Chain A
């Protein structure tokens, strides 16, 4: 009992290991080898590779590398699973999700231990955070499965979904993917990361135990190659990926033009902003949860510390002394803060980036990792005096490395925070609610945590702006990602005859020459090219010319739109007023527009089209101050506000058909949400758009909120799609451009929405299509506001 005496003197912690007996037993039941889970059965283990415990570098089990053949079989299984699943009513489907949630809870200890063994995360985190959240996701989505018909009447399931998840939160990411997909009535093929397949396979076994219909959930293991086979399968309707931005872009390129729906949840370099009036000790503790949670291998890790100059020295001192308290060890030890990184590759990557940071001039400060630890550990690191021009300020490290920078004013904090390609999340620490709520909407991120960090709930959507991806996971917004809008609600049926006004005939009688320019930055500008295009009426007469826009015109338009901040900052009431004013001014020119529309065969009924157009402006002006966000019920003492924010600078490519109604519908929907627009009007009959310039001018539309560049679509679309200052594109033009647009938009991952606008019934679509337009013209930002004094 000398141990007690010594411990009494030391008053320290000692290793307290969670038992791994049950987990090892489960692996042994499978003889340490696992096949895929396809069509409700485990396949024979084949093409085996090892999965390694990063703490002791020992093999845990052998996993099968999925081949094209395995993927094809799983797609078949998922297709027949889809039929079975959809033949069951929502209440029954809901019961299955509920059963999954219960089983995750009942088996929580075994799952937690497996997770920590394979990933290296501390048992505290897998036990207290990952697994409870995974169960919560299934509970929450069991609810949506039940409510699906009531709440999404205009939508149906997408179909077979291919889902690829990363190694940092294996079971949680599985839950984020599988739960909404099957709740919405889809079937899935899930490919876990090759480093961490075990909990996905354990989950597969749960699906079997609860007798989930075969083929609804399939798990195919393997590395990136298996994943690339999966996303390119023809019979997959949706791809959902969480992982690195590089791979996300690769996937987007691979499936460009395929029409597959896509959700990407990618990297981040999230700011953690501490103002001088924050509870500094709590902020430092928040930082521990932000950057040393899961060894910093978190997409939304608060890796860029922004400190107000007045308190920077004080806070840095606090961080250093807090770092000394971090404990490292066996992930199964209940008294540690950090385990090893997931793999040798990850360890080398982090080390390489940190070394570069030091070379570029940052001051480094690191903890000592006890020398007896032989796993893939990397010490918690603080890099001080990091400038935005250094790579470590910009590049995602995905490790326990914090870069610290100072700021002087709130304005500067915002510009530093937004100085990133990414836009996933941000933390704001201040006891001043005026300040915090002023900053939150100005950050270009999908999630803002005020006086908190890394808080999640199934009811609150998660996802990023910019190159952090698109789509949301969780919340109602996450459900939409697995549903498709019923195309009967907007598509033209049957008889439409679309004759283009292409002609060779020249006008025979003299007329006052009409040369329309571009509309850029609020003024009418002559195109850069000096060329123009003739526009013909249904008599094949050239009735006007418009400028033939080129890349420079687009450049100027995007530049102008980016400088135009007023429109988004205007109150929704003010935006509505301006839109009503546009309608008012347009109505005064009724006769002119009707006669203009009468001159083209692209308009089927000029009178009706004009009146519909006026009504559309009213519709979206009405929506301007009504498409509100929501306040979520979350399980902690906090209000979580889901704000609908504009996408930003949007490119809109208009169809030929219904040249006035389609143009106005699209711009009105996007404008009412506060977007700034670059519009490429109909190629064959842009005159209604062009003739709106004067109306915009006289209706108090702020300069450059709407920019219009006319010309040949094939000459404009690539430049617009590639432009890194454009945040989203609606392609309602010819669907032949879709692949190009998808590919060209990869560099900044702008949000793309494509519908063939020549097939849309612009005059008489179902009212629910308006809601879809509104949803596509906005993105959700969730702001977590804990409270209490």
Chain B
């Protein structure tokens, strides 16, 4: 007697066919319809991390996944080629071999999702990463503030691609968001999209500078409409970076866009995630809002520099039962 409303209902996960985003025209009506209730968003964030937990071997597995989704990053004024070499070597072997053996995951070929550097170091990174299949990610368009001339921004993208960067992380002009100039933001990203060709385009919203969660949601939608392959929270230079409310708002925007267009856009929280616990919280939230399909490097990246060493310690603790220490793992 009980009849289901929707025959597909009992498939437990949203099952996206991953179609790379090629963008759609700017639909202002969707932007104008955005409503975000901050209190409810915060409540959801506070509750979801207590509703789900991953323990023991399952936690080890999730942490391995986090490593494979990590854009290992250095973006400092004092970066040198030597520093990049160290980082790239760590990217290729993020975990000690004995730990991989203990976990029985050698065959998974665990390596990070990408290495994220300034344009200057693309070639160095490519040299070290050759043959590893780890993409080199270059930040671009006047990172981090984005206040350079449009011309040089476009040129910067093109030069990075020419140098071999496979992924481009651009910063958006926050002023377009703060002045509500969605058309300008859309045009800007469209140009970047064109300039980056087939490279994976990640748009950094600098969420900590957008004022409200509503702006974050609107900017997310505009970037996706303009063809972003990933939306990314932060440069790591703002005072507030990747928080759970940003993750919730942006993953919901991704879901909305997916439902509207069928295009699957990736999500990259960056900055501020330095502990295993934080990392798992973001992953749980992504799984709850978007599904497990989003927990892989093609749709999820973690921008982080110090997270890896905490993950290494947790994994060692899981394999030995003893608490670990930083000096037992090779640093980047």
A1's contact among B5, B12, B104, by CB below 8 Å, is which? B104
Q: Is A371 an interface residue (CB 8 A)?
A: no
Type the 1/0 row for A226-270, where 1 means its CB is closer than 8 Å to any CB of B. 000000000000000000000000000000000000000000000
Taking CB atoms and an 8 Å cut-off, the chain B residues in 51-80 that contact chain A are 51-55, 57-58, 60-62, 64-65
Task: Determine whether the beta carbon of A13 is less than 8 Å from that of B40.
Answer: no
Name the residue on B nearest A365 (C-beta): B5
Type the 1/0 row for B13-55, where 1 means its CB is closer than 8 Å to any CB of A. 1100000000000000000000111111111100100111111
Task: Determine whether the beta carbon of A431 is less than 8 Å from that of B37.
Answer: yes
Task: Determine whether the beta carbon of B61 is less than 8 Å from that of A358.
Answer: no
Task: Determine whether the beta carbon of A786 is less than 8 Å from that of B57.
Answer: no
Interface size class of A (residues with CB under 8 A): 35 or more
Chain B residues whose CB sits within 8 angstroms of the CB of A10 once the complex forms = 292
Task: Determine whether the beta carbon of B39 is less than 8 Å from that of A451.
Answer: yes
Task: Determine whether the beta carbon of A355 is less than 8 Å from that of B104.
Answer: no
Q: Which secondary structure dominates where chain A touches chain B?
A: mixed
Type the 1/0 row for A4-23, where 1 means its CB is closer than 8 Å to any CB of B. 11111011111010000000
Cα–Cα distance between A786 and B104 once the two chains are bound (Å): 49
Type the 1/0 row for A354-393, where 1 means its CB is closer than 8 Å to any CB of B. 0100110001111010000000000000101000000000
Contact A1-B57, Cβ < 8 Å, known A11-B295, A279-B36? yes
Q: Is B178 an interface residue (CB 8 A)?
A: no
Q: Is B105 an interface residue (CB 8 A)?
A: yes
A789's contact among B5, B212, B287, B288, by CB below 8 Å, is which? B212
Type the 1/0 row for A332-360, where 1 means its CB is closer than 8 Å to any CB of B. 00110100000000000000000100110
Q: Is A711 an interface residue (CB 8 A)?
A: no
A4's contact among B5, B39, B64, B295, by CB below 8 Å, is which? B64
Q: Is B103 an interface residue (CB 8 A)?
A: yes
Cα–Cα distance between A591 and B288 once the two chains are bound (Å): 78
Name the residue on B nearest A366 (C-beta): B2
Name the residue on B nearest A637 (C-beta): B39
Task: Determine whether the beta carbon of B38 is less than 8 Å from that of A789.
Answer: yes
Q: Is A530 an interface residue (CB 8 A)?
A: no
Chain B residues whose CB sits within 8 angstroms of the CB of A324 once the complex forms = 9-13
Task: Determine whether the beta carbon of B38 is less than 8 Å from that of A358.
Answer: no
Chain A residues whose CB sits within 8 angstroms of the CB of B212 once the complex forms = 789
Q: How far is the CB of B182 from chain A (nearest CB, A)?
A: 19
State the total of A-B contacts with C-beta under 8 angstroms.
136
Q: Is A136 an interface residue (CB 8 A)?
A: no
Type the 1/0 row for A386-422, where 1 means its CB is closer than 8 Å to any CB of B. 0000000000000000000000000000000000000
Cα–Cα distance between A5 and B40 once the two chains are bound (Å): 36
Q: How far is the CB of A658 from chain B (nearest CB, A)?
A: 53
Cα–Cα distance between A285 and B41 once the two chains are bound (Å): 9
Q: Is A325 an interface residue (CB 8 A)?
A: yes
Contact A451-B40, Cβ < 8 Å, known A16-B53, A124-B51? yes
Q: Which of A7, A358, A364 gathers most chain B CB within 10 Å?
A: A7
Chain B residues whose CB sits within 8 angstroms of the CB of A364 once the complex forms = 2-5
Cα–Cα distance between A787 and B41 once the two chains are bound (Å): 11
Q: Is B317 an interface residue (CB 8 A)?
A: no
Q: Is B90 an interface residue (CB 8 A)?
A: no
A8's contact among B53, B65, B288, by CB below 8 Å, is which? B65
Contact A11-B55, Cβ < 8 Å, known A282-B37, A363-B5, A637-B39? no
Task: Determine whether the beta carbon of B105 is less than 8 Å from that of A1.
Answer: yes
Q: Which secondary structure dominates where chain B touches chain A?
A: helix
Interface size class of B (residues with CB under 8 A): 35 or more
Q: How far is the CB of B174 from chain A (nearest CB, A)?
A: 17
Q: How far is the CB of A430 from chain B (nearest CB, A)?
A: 9
Task: Determine whether the beta carbon of B103 is less than 8 Å from that of A1.
Answer: yes
B10's contact among A5, A325, A368, by CB below 8 Å, is which? A368
Chain B residues whose CB sits within 8 angstroms of the CB of A282 once the complex forms = 36-37, 40-41, 44
Contact A788-B38, Cβ < 8 Å, known A14-B58, A124-B51? yes
Cα–Cα distance between A384 and B2 once the two chains are bound (Å): 13
Q: Is B127 an interface residue (CB 8 A)?
A: no
Chain B residues whose CB sits within 8 angstroms of the CB of A451 once the complex forms = 37, 39-40
Q: Is B176 an interface residue (CB 8 A)?
A: no
Cα–Cα distance between A4 and B105 once the two chains are bound (Å): 7
Contact A16-B39, Cβ < 8 Å, known A4-B61, A8-B108, A365-B4? no
Contact A320-B9, Cβ < 8 Å, known A4-B61, A337-B51? yes
Type the 1/0 row for A308-333, where 1 means its CB is closer than 8 Å to any CB of B. 00000000000011011101000000
Task: Determine whether the beta carbon of B103 is less than 8 Å from that of A4.
Answer: yes
Task: Determine whether the beta carbon of A452 is less than 8 Å from that of B38.
Answer: no
Q: Is A3 an interface residue (CB 8 A)?
A: yes
Name the residue on A nearest B60 (C-beta): A4
Task: Determine whether the beta carbon of A128 is less than 8 Å from that of B50.
Answer: yes
Chain A residues whose CB sits within 8 angstroms of the CB of B5 once the complex forms = 320, 363-365, 382, 384
Cα–Cα distance between A771 and B273 once the two chains are bound (Å): 56
Cα–Cα distance between A289 and B48 once the two chains are bound (Å): 11
Chain B residues whose CB sits within 8 angstroms of the CB of A327 once the complex forms = 52
Cα–Cα distance between A122 and B3 once the two chains are bound (Å): 28
Cα–Cα distance between A235 and B104 once the two chains are bound (Å): 71
Type the 1/0 row for A283-312, where 1 means its CB is closer than 8 Å to any CB of B. 101100100000000000000000000000
Task: Determine whether the beta carbon of A1 is less than 8 Å from that of B102.
Answer: yes
Type the 1/0 row for B304-316, where 1 means its CB is closer than 8 Å to any CB of A. 0000000000000
Cα–Cα distance between A163 and B295 once the two chains are bound (Å): 51
Q: How far is the CB of A40 from chain B (nearest CB, A)?
A: 37
Q: Is A2 an interface residue (CB 8 A)?
A: yes
Q: How far is the CB of A451 from chain B (nearest CB, A)?
A: 5
* Known A1-B104, A279-B40; 8 more pairs at CB < 8 Å: A5-B61, A8-B61, A278-B35, A282-B37, A282-B40, A285-B43, A323-B9, A368-B10
Some 20 contacts from A to B, beta carbons below 8 A apart, are: A1-B57, A3-B61, A4-B57, A4-B105, A7-B57, A7-B62, A14-B55, A277-B35, A289-B47, A324-B13, A334-B52, A335-B52, A363-B5, A364-B3, A364-B5, A365-B9, A786-B37, A786-B39, A786-B40, A787-B39
- Give the 3 A-B CB pairs with smallest separation, nearest first: A1-B104, A7-B61, A282-B40
Taking Cβ atoms with an 8 Å cutoff, the residues of A that contact B are 1-8, 10-14, 16, 124, 128, 277-283, 285-286, 289, 320-321, 323-325, 327, 334-335, 337, 355, 358-359, 363-366, 368, 382, 384, 431, 451-452, 636-638, 786-789
